[in-house]
Copies of this chain bind each other. A is one copy, B any other.
Amino acid sequence: MKLNLNQKELCENLDYSFQNLDFLEQALVHSSLKSRGANNNQRMEFLGDRILGFVISDYLFTNYPEWKEGDLALNYNSLVCKKTCGEIAEQIDLGKSLIMGKSESKHGGRLKKAILADALEALISAVYLDSNLKTVKKLILNLWSSKLKNVGDVELDSKTALQHWIQGKGGGLPIYTDLKKEGLDHDPTFHVQVKLDNGLTANGMAKSKRYAQQKAAEKLLLEIKKINE
């Protein structure tokens, strides 16, 4: 196998040269290419998902020793979710190197975030299989560097702010209740309610339970601001 121009560019964007190009190629094969049978990137995506999970959780655990489990999980989910993986895949222009069925390609498959995210996870596997954990860890932290800079910025604010406000008033801690979960398994939407012991409530919905809590807290803070104006 010889690299085509797109693949060469992809390897440059990854800052990685494959010893065994078969790993790279299999990572690029989407399941819509029926002629390849099961020889697509799905197995590699399965493994890559867990490699990414380990590397990112290890990074957060080490670099944020003061964070509780909830804060680790909140930021972790935002870093490894399909949306983020899709964005990083776009940064390295992964779409044009994908090998896919004609119909999927015609229907914009190269632009679909979910397909791009899966392929990025498969690529992570490919680099791991071609080298070792140390190398793929470096590659992941490099690819994720701009996302890692923003870790812990915005999302923790509303819950913390609400908690500080209520504690300043001598009230009990806000209570968060799960209302419901909607949607398909791989794409759920969570509805959450926050309640203060003065009876004030607000609801929030989001793609993760903790973001839904943040949104509920944010809404309640706005309510409080309005009341106090």
Interface set of A (CB-CB < 8 Å, partner B): 38, 42-43, 45-47, 49-51, 53-54, 57-58, 61, 67-69, 72-73, 76, 125, 133, 178, 181, 184-185, 190, 209
Contact = CB atoms under 8 A, between A and B. Distances in A.
A133 B50 CA distance: 14
A46 B58 contact: no
A69 B38 CA distance: 9
B73 A61 contact: no
8 contacts: A43-B68, A43-B72, A46-B73, A47-B58, A50-B53, A51-B58, A54-B54, A178-B184
Contacts of A190: 185
B185 A209 contact: yes
A43 B57 contact: no
A205 to B, nearest CB: 14
A133 B42 CA distance: 25
Contact of A46 (B42, B45, B72): B72
Nearest to A70: B42
Contact of A50 (B38, B50, B178, B181): B50
- The listed residue with most B CB atoms (<10 A of its CB), out of A50, A58, A61, is A50
Contacts of A67: 43
